[in-house]
Structure 1
Amino acid sequence: MKTTAKLLAFVLVFVLSANAFSQESNQQQTQQFKPVYITMTMAHWNDDPETDYSDWLATEKEYFDKVINKNDLIMDAGVYTHYFTPDNSEIVFVTVYENWGDIEKANEVNQKLIQEAWPDEKKRQAFLQKQNSYYSPQHSDEIYQSMNYYIPIKEKTDKPLIYYVRSSDLAMNGQGSPGKFREFHEKVTSKNSKLKGYYTHRHLWGANSREMSEVFVFEKLADIEEFFDENDKLVAETWKDEAERETFMKEMGKNFTGKHADYVYRSIPELQKQNQ
């Protein structure tokens, strides 16, 4: 599931200059904010009915403890399973790096840590084959850069959290105002009491050059509905005049094409590395 050097060579540079959101975020970012690089591997469970998943977590936990947690170039990492998505076989592996170069360097460190953890070649190959047996050969890789609209998770928990992901297509036609999105973030999103955390990131490498994703973190599924109700109240309180409110929402909406997709995943607490 690693991203190879060959894949890293194909960077869509034009996105960096065309994405108005990224420009605005860089101009207004605080000294505390520094973009990070995020790789996401969408894997799928093995559909072979003979596959034994009884020790899946123990196997991945062993790898996580011996490799991921010991790799200092990996800032954060997590594993997320399908909750409400179009494909119930999905399992998402997310890894966060300080910079682009660390993506490839971290893979090299992983290989060294694997050899150190399982020095006997036969045992090493047996473990890796067992680990890979849980998944189908089908997978996809995406690379994103974080954006300066976020609410960090303040407390670690040993319970699964709910991650609602909204993936939107940026209009990228020069008519939108990223400042409107920032204003909405500051006046509405960041004040919503139902959020445990909130993160945004934009496409760097992958299938959709327009993609911008928002990740909303909740304690439980029911909080999502309450989150939207509270958002409506915050919007009404912030823009009390209906005409002004509608104008603002219309202007903010120009940042996007109107096309978006929604996904809900659940975290695996045992497979979480959280340093920030």
Structure 2
Amino acid sequence: MKTTAKLLAFVLVFALCANVSSQESNEEKAEDFKPVYITMTTTHWNDDPDTDFSDWLETEKEYFEKVVKKNDLIMSSGVYTHYFTPDNSEIVMVNVYENWSDIENANEINQKLIEEAWPDEKDRQAFFKKQRSYYRPDHKDEIYLSMPFMIPESQDSQESKIFYVRSSDLAMNGNGKPGKFKEHFEKVTKKSKKLKGYYTHRHLWGSNGREMTEVFVFDKLADIEDFFDEEENIIKATWTDEKERTAFMQDLGSNFTGKHADYVYRSVPELQK
């Protein structure tokens, strides 16, 4: 059962990190920034046509209330469903921890909370059998480290949010100019009126050592296109000289290979800690 509980701890976990980051001031100095550890699991809905999803949210809310919310080592957690991604069966689940050891220790606490919540073994096995039935057994686990470039969401919301995720490959060739990314963040990203939140994190453990991810939070899908227009206008207003603007964007781009992937997810507010 302990192994099962550890698996479920990963399966029932996005930052993303949003609620934890909201505790930190936008004006914090970089040297005061303390990164958090983000476990991210991408799993999939069960494709068995006989699967009954009618009580999925009710089941996950029960586990969330009895286990996730009571585990103080889980600083933040969230569940994000496919909106525009290559695979419409995707579900992204995230937990945020203060440090690496808390990832393992949180699983042990989860096990205790599970036994307290379902003291009868038959009831416990029945609950987790039902919970597992919603998902396929194949999934992908990644661990990330948060970066200091963030715009915390101003307040908690009971409404579902749109999360646009841009995953970029870092060049890692010694020719990048990281200071240009910080400058873009300060002069452009932070000035956006459309963004409801913005977070960055870096690969720590997983399949792609080059990966850096930006998470843009919006109220609705149409805001993404408006944000791109707004961003372009801010860039032109900041670097009015076209040659200087082109040079800056080239320097900014030197940090990356040019390869990136875009995903859009929708949050499940009932499962947000």
Give the TM-score of the pair, scaled to structure 1.
0.89
State whether structure 2 residue 119 is matched by structure 1 residue 123: no
State whether structure 2 residue 24 is matched by structure 1 residue 48: no
* Residue equivalent to 1:29: 30
* Residue equivalent to 1:104: 104
4+ residue segments displaced more than 2 Å: 1-4
Give, in whole Å, the separation in 2 of the partners of 1:204 and 1:178. 18
Give, in whole Å, the separation in 1 of the partners of 2:5 and 2:36. 18
Name the SS for the 2:268 alignment partner: strand
CA contact (8 A) 2:150 2:199 kept: yes
Give, in whole Å, the separation in 1 of the partners of 2:52 and 2:272. 23
Give, in whole Å, the separation in 2 of the partners of 1:236 and 1:3. 50
Shift of 1:178: 0.5
Give, in whole Å, the separation in 2 of the partners of 1:231 and 1:207. 31
* Residue equivalent to 2:263: 263
* Residue equivalent to 2:162: 162
Shift of 1:30: 3.8
* Structure 2 runs not aligned, ≥5 long: 8-28
State whether structure 2 residue 135 is matched by structure 1 residue 138: no
Name the SS for the 1:135 alignment partner: coil
CA contact (8 A) 2:5 2:111 kept: no
1:227-265: CA deviation from partner (whole Å, max 9, x where unpaired): 000000000000000000000000110000000000000
CA contact (8 A) 2:5 2:110 kept: no
Give, in whole Å, the separation in 2 of the partners of 1:52 and 1:195. 36
* Structure 1 runs not aligned, ≥5 long: 5-27
Name the SS for the 2:139 alignment partner: strand
Give, in whole Å, the separation in 2 of the partners of 1:79 and 1:162. 12
Shift of 1:154: 1.2
Identity fraction in percent: 70
Residue type at the aligned position of 2:254:
K
* Residue equivalent to 1:181: 181
Question: Within 5 A, what are the aligned runs for 1:90-101?
Answer: 90-101=90-101
Residue type at the aligned position of 1:131:
Q
CA contact (8 A) 1:40 1:141 kept: yes
Name the SS for the 1:137 alignment partner: coil
Residue type at the aligned position of 1:60:
E
Give, in whole Å, the separation in 1 of the partners of 2:79 and 2:154. 19
* Residue equivalent to 1:16: none
* Residue equivalent to 1:194: 194
Shift of 1:2: 6.9
1:175-228: CA deviation from partner (whole Å, max 9, x where unpaired): 011100000000000110000000000000001000000000000000000000
Q: CA RMSD in A?
A: 1.1
Residue type at the aligned position of 2:206:
G
For these two proteins, the number of residue pairs brought into alignment is 249
